Amino acid sequence: MDTTCGGFLLKGQKAITDAVAIQKLQDAGAIILAKANLTELGHKKGIKLTSGWSAVGGQTQSPYVRGGVRSDAMPLGHSTPAGSSSGSAVAVAAGFCPVAIGTESDGSVMFPCTRAGLYGFKPGRGKTDYTGVQPGGKPYDTIGVMAKGCEDIASVMNVLMNEQLQVRSSGDSWEGVKVGLVDLRQWWLPEPYLESEPQSYQEQVLTAVEDAMRTIEGKGARVIRSTPLITMPEFEKDIPGTQGLHDVMTQPFRKAFEEFLSLFPDCPAKTLREVIEFNDEHAYVELPKESPDQDLLVMAEEHAMKAEVFEHAERIMRTRTTTSLHDCMEAKGLDVIMACGDGLLPPFSAAAGCPIGAVPLGFADFNGRAFGMHLVVEAEQEERLLNIMKLWEETFPDARKPPDVC
C-alpha cells in the first residue's frame, strides 16, 4: 500500500519494508484492511491545518457531527474529528473495522477517540516499536489503539507491546478505586485549538462528568475533586532556550523525518528543505486556499535548538510532570487521574511519558459530536489503566450509544 502520510510527495511511493508494528500484527494473524486518512504528516505540516485534512485524502468527517466540518473550524474545532489519527477513529466508529491503530506524540490518538465515542489506549514511552512509522516528535512518539471495547484494545496491545495485559471483569463495582478529578474548567482546551463553544455545551459536559462521578461513587469509588496536577503552563514555565512542549517536539523532527524518507528510494525529496520546495511547486494541491499552511515544516527546517538545550528542556518537563503525577497519586492513594476529553491531559501525558486512555461519555446536544474522558496513571501501570477503562465500559454500557436521529 502507498504510505503517503497524506502528502502528494509520497503518493505512488512504496516503502522498502513494513513497519515493525505492522509485521507483528500480520504475524499474529491480523488482516490489514486499509490505511486511513489523517491530518497531513501527523499535523506536522502546518499549525492551522484542520484536523483530519490531508492533500491526498481530503477532509475526514465525523460519523456523528451534524453538518460536517465547518469552513471556519479551528484545528481541534467541535465540528472536526480532531487529532492526527482521525481517519483511524472514524473507521472504527463507522463500522468499517473493529479496531485500528494510530500514532500519538501529543493527543493524536486520544482526541480522535473522544470525538468518535471510542475507547483509546496509548502505553507509556518506549513501550511500542516505532521503527518504520512516520515520526512526529521523538522521543514522544507512541503507537496507540482505538476500539469499541477494552478487550479488543488488549488483544492488539499485547501484540504490539510483547506484554500480556490481563483484562478482568469486575461487573460494575468500583469498591476500593480512588479517582482524582482535575478542575475541568482549568484544564479545558483554549483557543486557538478549540473555538468557543455554546455555553450550553460546556454545561452539558460538566453535568455529565459530575453525574458519572456520582455514579461511580455510588458503586464504591472515592473521587477526589480538583486534584492539583501540574498544568501545561506550569510545567513549561521558565525553561531557557525554548517556548514550551511543542517547541521541544519540533526539534528532532527534521532528522527523524529525513531518515523516514530513506525508506522510499524513489521519493523525489530526500531532505526537509526539498519537501518544502516540493509543496511550494505543487501548491495547487498541497497548499490550497483552505489549507495553505506548511509553517511547521519551515519551523522544523530552520529551527536549530542545540542538543544540550533540547535535552535540558525535555528533562525539566519530564521531571516536573512525573513528580507532580506521583505526588498527587501518592498523597491521596489514587489509582487514576481523570480529565475532560476536551482538555490538556494528552500534552501532560506526552511530557511525562505516562500511559493515557480515553473513554466515552456522551454526545453534544448542539451538533452531535461525541465527548468523553481522558485518564492517566504512572509509568508501568498500563494494566491498571486498561482495567479501570474496562470498569468504565461495564458501568456505562450506553456511553457510546448516540441519540436517535430524526
pLDDT tens digits along 51-110: 999 999 999 999 999 999 998 899 999 999 999 999 999 999 999 999 999 999 999 999
Separation of CA 77 from chain center: 15
Domains annotated for the chain, with CATH where assigned, are 8-395 (3.90.1300.10)
pLDDT, position 406? 52
Decide: residue 210, CB within 10 A, 0-12 exposed, 13-18 middle, 19+ buried: middle
- DSSP β-bridge partners for residue 356: 122, 376
DSSP string, 318-351: HHHHHHHHHHHHHHHT-SEEEEETTBSHHHHHHH
CB 161 within 8 A of CB 21: no
- Length, in residues, of the chain: 406
Distance CA 192, CA 223 (A): 31
Pairing of strands 119-122, 178-181: unpaired
pLDDT at 250: 85
pLDDT tens digits, one per residue of 11-64: 999 999 999 999 999 999 999 999 999 999 999 999 889 999 999 999 999 999
**Which three-class secondary structure state does DSSP give residue 310?**
helix
Give tens-digit pLDDT for 337-391. 999 999 999 999 999 999 999 999 999 999 999 999 999 999 999 999 999 999 9
Percent of the chain surpassing pLDDT 90: 83
Is the pLDDT at 304 greater than 80? The verdict is no
The span from the CA of 10 to the CA of 257, in Å, is 13
pLDDT tops 60 at residue 321: yes
**Extended strands (E) in 237-377:** 336-340, 356-363, 370-376
Instruction: Extract the C-alpha cell encoding 37.
Output: 486518512
**pTM for the complete prediction?**
0.96
